């Protein structure tokens, strides 16, 4: 469970949200990021009250993920949106909201964080406008992102 909380803290760094060690311990002590569980209390995190930053997000799913859902993109999109809703329960406490501009399938199964970054940037002019892209991979069991990558071409993550 501690690992999931650490991944959440690392993922927040992508958005430029930096928590002190004291705040990170508070999150970990109050609960881990567990699917379906209530979002931990982020009351110690300091944010600008009343200001919400909305991030247009483009979500890619790899071939193994769509295969798991028998290539039923409606089921894939429904489950992805449930995950986004849960992520927003965490992020909204910090004044951040994710807006999904698209959920796209990639036929690739072998994308690392670096290769996904290259894959996305090679096609960026053909994609819906977005500030952030993530790849949901069936085989990967964790989360990776470039630290402070949000305001750059490195605003990508890999999750699974």
Q: Is the pLDDT of residue 5 over 60?
A: no
Average pLDDT estimate for 88-116: 89
Q: Is the pLDDT of residue 160 over 70?
A: yes
C-alpha span between 46 and 95 (Å, rounded): 10
Cβ-contact 124, 60 below 8 angstroms: no
Q: What is the pLDDT of residues 6-48, one digit of tens each?
A: 444 445 555 555 444 444 444 444 444 455 667 667 666 666 7
- Assign 3-class secondary structure to 6-47: HHHHHHHHHCCCCCCHHHHHHHHHHCCCCCCCCCCCCCCCCC
Q: What is the pLDDT of residues 37-78, one digit of tens each?
A: 676 676 666 667 778 889 999 999 999 999 999 999 999 999
* pLDDT for position 148: 84
* pLDDT for position 138: 85
Instruction: Say what the pTM is.
Output: 0.71
Backbone φ, ψ for residue 45 (5° rounding): -70, 135
Pairing verdict, β 156-159 and 132-136: parallel
- What confidence tier does 82 reach under pLDDT thresholds 50, 70, 90? very high
Report the mean per-residue pLDDT for the chain.
Answer: 78
Domains of the chain: 44-159 (3.40.390.10)
* pLDDT for position 93: 84
C-alpha span between 155 and 23 (Å, rounded): 24
Cβ-contact 56, 130 below 8 angstroms: yes
* pLDDT for position 52: 85
- DSSP H or E run through 68: helix 63-68
The percent of residues in the chain predicted with pLDDT above 90, rounded, is 42
* pLDDT for position 109: 77
């Amino acid at each position: 469970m501690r690992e999931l909380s650490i991944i959440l803290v690392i993922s927040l760094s992508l958005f430029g949200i930096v928590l002190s060690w004291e705040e990170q311990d508070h999150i970990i002590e109050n609960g881990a990021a567990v699917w379906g569980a209530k979002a931990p209390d982020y009351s110690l995190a300091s944010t600008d009250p009343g200001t919400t930053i909305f991030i247009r997000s483009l979500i890619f799913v790899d071939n193994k993920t769509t295969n798991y859902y028998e290539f039923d993109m409606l089921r894939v999109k429904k489950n992805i949106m449930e995950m986004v809703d849960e992520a927003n329960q965490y992020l909204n406490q910090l004044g951040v909201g994710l807006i999904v501009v698209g959920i796209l399938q990639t036929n690739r199964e072998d994308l690392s964080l670096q290769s996904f970054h290259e894959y996305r940037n090679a096609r960026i002019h053909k994609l819906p406008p977005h500030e952030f892209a993530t790849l949901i991979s069936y085989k990967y069991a964790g989360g990776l992102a470039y630290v402070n990558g949000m305001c750059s071409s490195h605003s990508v993550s890999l999750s699974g």
